Amino acid sequence: MHAMLNIAVRAARVAGNIISRGYESRADLATELKGENDYVTQIDKEAEQAIIDKIRQSFPDHSFVGEEGGIVEGDETFKWVIDPLDGTTNFIKGIPHFAVSIALLYKGKLDQAVVFDPMRGELFTASKGSGAQLNGYRIRCTKSRDLSGTVLATAFPFKKKEALNGYMSSFSTIFSQCGDVRRSGSAALDMAYVAAGRFDGYWEKGIKPWDIAAGSLLVQEAGGLVTDFDGGHEPMRTGAVVCGGAKVVQGLVRALKV
């Protein structure tokens, strides 16, 4: 395992332990509203700080950006992008589907990725050029020829419900062409599941870089494509992502342009 990936895995497991303990006593946790239908708990903050502290033990000069404000200035050559608890609403409600997401950007490009599901003990990892793994075993995206029969994942615009009408139009087009659609509440796990071949594809709009950074490298290293809604290659900048096997991505992008 790459040295930096190994440290990221250790950091993810430390955060996972914090999350698992918090899950057992979540009724007593302080919860804040960051925005419309957007929550944060003390566990999110503790997990993020634990990740940063763990990585800085080995790489004190690196820079960080985390969802909960964990911005640490440093060498921009190495930038860690962190979502300490992707799926906070699931966590609060007691739905055991959430994950730790850690990615490393090297000179602005995705280089290492970890998505860790502490409830199932599933560790998704990827190093640029070395493939993607689940608990040490190689994973691959599916190779569907079109959307027919596929199981896809998405998310509704719960933070901006005024965008629902436009979203439902494209959703209807896609749903009429595929087998079925899932909405799980964790972008990191949606993309990890695409990499593992559990979902054939995934699309979502209005997301942040920390939501999809690690998942993007997982999908790419599992043989898939990651684009924005226009088929471009900057989903982390545009906040819109489409991923899956090549033909699935083509079909989704085509449907999203209708």
Q: Which domains does the chain have, with CATH numbers?
A: 3-138 (3.30.540.10), 151-256 (3.40.190.80)
Yes or no: say if 101 and 110 are a contact pair by the CB < 8 Å rule: no
Residue 112: phi, psi to the nearest 5? Answer: -140, 150
According to the model, what pLDDT value does residue 104 have? 98
pLDDT at residue number 35: 56
**Are 210 and 110 a contacting pair, CB within 8 Å?**
no
- Nearest to residue 229, comparing CAs of 213, 250, 246? 250
Task: Tally Cβ neighbours within 10 Å of residue 164.
Answer: 13
Contact 241, 235 (CB under 8 A): yes
Answer yes or no: are the C-beta atoms of 104 and 94 closer than 8 Å.
no
Query: Radius of gyration over alpha carbons of the chain, in Å?
Result: 17
Residue 167 is predicted with a pLDDT of: 84
DSSP-assigned beta bridge partners for residue 81: 65, 103
**pLDDT one digit per residue (tens) for the chain, 258 residues:** 689 999 999 999 999 999 999 999 887 777 776 655 556 788 999 999 999 999 999 999 999 999 888 788 999 999 999 999 999 999 999 999 999 999 999 999 999 999 999 999 999 999 999 999 999 999 999 999 999 999 999 998 766 676 677 788 899 999 999 999 999 999 999 999 999 999 999 999 989 999 999 999 999 999 999 999 999 999 999 999 999 999 999 999 999 986
Q: 3-state DSSP: the chain helix, strand, coil percent, rounded to 5?
A: 40, 30, 30
